[in-house]
Structure 1
Amino acid sequence: MAREVISIFVENQSNVLTRIASLFGRRGFNIDSLTVAKTNDPTISRITVAFDGAKTDIHQIMTQTAKLEVVKDIHRLSTMNSLYRELLLLKVACDKTNRSGIIEIVNIYRGKIISLSKDNLIIELTGSPEKIDGLMNMLSCYDILEVCRTGITGMSRDSYDTTDEDEE
C-alpha cells in the first residue's frame, strides 16, 4: 500500500462531494485527506483526495471515478513531480516560563503566531505534510489544546502527463 494523491475536477454542484466520497467508501478506500474548492472557473471545483492503496486498486478507483458524469478530469499526482501543502492551526497552552521556547520552535519552522494570550497561543503553519508533522512532533512535549489541519492539497509541477509514473 502506498500513499496516493489524486486531483479530480468536477462540476460545481450539490451532492458531488457525497458521490465521490461514497464511491471511495463502497470500494473499501479510507480517505486520509480531502480538500475541495472552486477553481478559476466558478462552475468547476477541484477535489484533492489522499488515500492508501495498492497500484492495481488505484487504476480501478480512478477509472470508476472518471465514469461519473459530474467528473470533468482526474489526475494522479506523482510524488516526484507534484507539490503538496497543508495548513495547520495549532493552539498550545503556554505561560511566561515556556512561551519563548515555543516561539523559538515556531520560528525555526517559519510558522506564525496569529493569536497570543496569557495562557495559550495559536500557531499557523503552511507547508508539506512532513513539515507539519515535524512541528507537531517538536511541540508534542507541550500541552497541545487544539489541532486543525486542512489536509493535503496538491498540484502537478508540469502539464498533466497521461503516462503512469512507474512506466517512466
Structure 2
Amino acid sequence: MPDPQPASVYDLDHKQEAETLATFAVLVDNEPGVLHRLVGLFAARGYNIESLTVAETDRNAHTSRVTIVTRGTPHVLGQIEAQLEKMVSTRHVQDVTRDPNGLERELALVKVKSTGADRVEALRVADIFRARVIDTTHESFVFEITGAPSKIDKFAELMRPLGLVELSRTGVLSITRGAEAF
C-alpha cells in the first residue's frame, strides 16, 4: 500500500532541516479579495500563519502592507516567498528576518489582576520592561508594552504568576533601517 500523502508541507522530510520563524513584508494592491487570496495561499499549502497585520500604506497608490510571520524550514520559507511573489496583486516581497537592517515590533495590552505584594511586583516588572500603565483599578492594571515579540513573550511569562488574566497583541510590524523605501 502506498504511503499516504502528507497533510501539509510540514509533514515532508526536508533532510531534517530545523524550522525557524520568518517575517515577510508584502506590499500588495489595496483591493477587495487580496487578503483572502493571500491567506488562501497559506491554507491551500498547509502553511501556518503565526502573526498577520495588514494596513493601507498609500491611499493614492492603492497599496497595503501585509506583515506575515510564519514558521518553516529554509526550503519551505523559500517556497512561501516564491509563492507570495507570484501573486498577481503583489508589488514587492521582503524577508525581513534575513535582512540585517530588519526591525520587528509588536504592541500588547496586558491585564493583570493582583493585590498586595503581587501588585507591587507587577508594577516593578512593568517598570523594568518599560510598560506603561494605561488603566488601573483597586484590583487590576492594564499595561501597554511595545517591543520585539520575544520581549512581549517574556513580559507575559513574568506576569502570569502575578495574575495575568488577559493578553491582546497586535501582531508583528516590520520595517528596515535606512533611507531606502520598501
TM-score normalised by L of structure 2: 0.82
> C-alpha root-mean-square deviation of aligned residues, in Å?
1.8
Q: What amino acid is aligned across from residue 137 of structure 1 in structure 2?
A: E
Q: In the aligned structure 1, how far is the partner of 2:64 from the partner of 2:94? A: 14
Aligned to 2:70: 51
**For 1:71-118, what per-residue CA distance to the aligned partner results, in whole angstroms no more than 9, with x for missing partners?**
111111126331110001011102244322211110110010000011
Q: In the aligned structure 2, how far is the partner of 1:38 from the partner of 1:9? A: 10
The answer as to 2:135 corresponding to 1:152 is no
**For 1:5-53, what per-residue CA distance to the aligned partner results, in whole angstroms no more than 9, with x for missing partners?**
1011011112211110110111111110111111144511000000111
* Amino-acid identity (%): 30
Which residue among 125, 129, 135 is the counterpart of 2:145? 125
Q: Which has the larger radius of gyration?
A: 2
Superposed counterparts of 1:46-125, under 5 Å: 46-77=65-96, 78=98, 80-125=100-145
Give the match's secondary structure for 1:139. Answer: helix
The answer as to 2:22 corresponding to 1:4 is yes
Q: Which runs of 5+ in 1 are unaligned?
A: 162-168
**For 1:119-159, what per-residue CA distance to the aligned partner results, in whole angstroms no more than 9, with x for missing partners?**
11100000001111111121121221111011111112244
Superposed counterparts of 1:6-25, under 5 Å: 6-25=24-43
Aligned to 2:48: 30
Q: What amino acid is aligned across from residue 165 of structure 2 in structure 1?
A: L
Q: Is this contact kept in 2: 1:9–1:73, CA < 8 A?
A: yes
Q: In the aligned structure 1, how far is the partner of 2:58 from the partner of 2:181? A: 17
